[in-house]
Homo-oligomer: A and B are copies of this chain.
Amino acid sequence: MKTLNVDLNERSYPIYIGQNLLSRADLLTPHIASRQVMIVTNETVAPLYLEQVRQLLTPFEVHQVILPDGERYKNLDVLNRIFDALLQERCDRQCTLIALGGGVIGDTAGFAAACFQRGIPFIQIPTTLLSQVDSSVGGKTAVNHPHGKNMIGAFYQPRCVIADTNTLNTLDDRQLHSGLAEVIKYGLIIDGDFFAWLEDNMPAILARDPAALQTVITRSCQNKADVVAMDEYEGGVRALLNLGHTFGHAIETHTGYESWLHGEAVATGMLMAADLSARLGWIDDSAVQRTQRLLQQAKLPDSPPEDMTSADFLQHMAVDKKVQNNQIRLILLKAIGKSVVTADFDPNCFKDTLGAFTHQSD
């Protein structure tokens, strides 16, 4: 097992990464604040792991709420079902909320923990690659609004994160691939050596080799923890973690958060960001090709939906959180392993990128 520390002063917390961690009461129970525990999970994860987690908590008063599975349930109505459960069970301000599941569960349950009675203790047990390498680390919580993704949320740090790599054995291939998009992202934005390691080790990762997966998760979490420690509330450098996300959110909004997984949209978005960086002369074409090749190795899509136009992108990108004063700010590459946040780029190159990745005229 590896233990990483996210360094945020009085909000610092450990991330435990390794095999068989869901049988380790000694990791979980020291972070429970009081007598009451509320586990939030979904219909897919509950049959697999809920009982195992409950076994660790026999000394406590344990309640549970099982939500439907899917990004389309990451909304205010489903959030309210968590509040209903907390109030029905008369949970107080010391009740510890545990998110057991993927990114949607972590984001929704984390926001519920942030808001309920203005904040109750919170623990993340991520069960997908995406949530283990990204959404469970750093304290961003949110739900979607019909007009935009993650529009309503809070910065709220967990007391600990327990990433059991065994849970990835029950993950379907497409979810695994989707999670690899965020992994590749760390290589692109700040860790060129990790990018090269991924190029060499993708076959072992796809075969779910435990040692390879532990390295993937540990290195990803370390990169993310470093960035978050520098900039908890995304005033500056933390925005680099959004590489590919502005393009990606446009794809997700266009497709109604349904047919495309988050990582798939981010993968295509990262390639679009790389393409734009090359058009600006900031990276050379070989860097774009390496990016495309690694995404393909990870079985991720490298072009937007067929029916999506440049106008669709422009419309959906304008309400993205990365927009300030109506200027589109993007994360772009200066090299593999080096990135910048900027609104200072030639808009014609931006249009050319949109044109190159879409079919229909606008």
Contacts and interface: CB of A to CB of B under 8 A. Distances in A.
A34 to B, nearest CB: 6
Contacts of A324: 34, 92-94
A202 interface: no
Interface stretch (A23-31, A114-122, A211-219, A258-266): A114-122
Given A35-B325, A140-B118, A319 B151 contact: no
Contacts of A87: 145, 147-148, 151, 319
Interface string A139-177: 010100101100111110000000000000000000000
Contacts of A142: 118
Nearest to A147: B87
Contacts of A92: 321, 323-326
Contacts of A80: 76
A88 interface: yes
A155 B118 contact: yes
Given A34-B325, A35-B325, A83-B145, A154 B118 contact: yes
Contacts of A76: 76, 80
A152 B116 contact: yes
Given A34-B325, A118-B234, 5 more contacts: A90-B319, A92-B321, A94-B324, A117-B153, A118-B153
Interface in A99-136: 114-119
A228 to B, nearest CB: 13
A145 B116 CA distance: 10
B151 A117 contact: yes
A315 B53 CA distance: 32
A117 B117 CA distance: 20
User: Quick one: copies of this chain in the complex?
Assistant: 2
A233 interface: yes
Contacts of A311: none
Contacts of A119: 154-155, 233
Contacts of A35: 325
A229 interface: no
B34 A151 contact: no
Contacts of A83: 145, 151-152
Given A87-B319, A92-B325, A319-B87, A115 B154 contact: yes
A62 interface: no
A318 interface: yes
Interface string A190-232: 0000000000000000000000000000000000000000000
Contacts of A234: 118
Nearest to A34: B325
A96 to B, nearest CB: 12
Nearest to A114: B154
Q: Which of A93, A115, A116, A145 has the most CB of B within 10 A?
A: A115
A322 to B, nearest CB: 9
A151 B117 CA distance: 5
A81 to B, nearest CB: 12
Nearest to A77: B76
The 8 A-B pairs with the shortest beta carbon distances in the complex, nearest first, are A87-B147, A118-B153, A115-B152, A117-B321, A92-B323, A35-B325, A92-B324, A93-B321
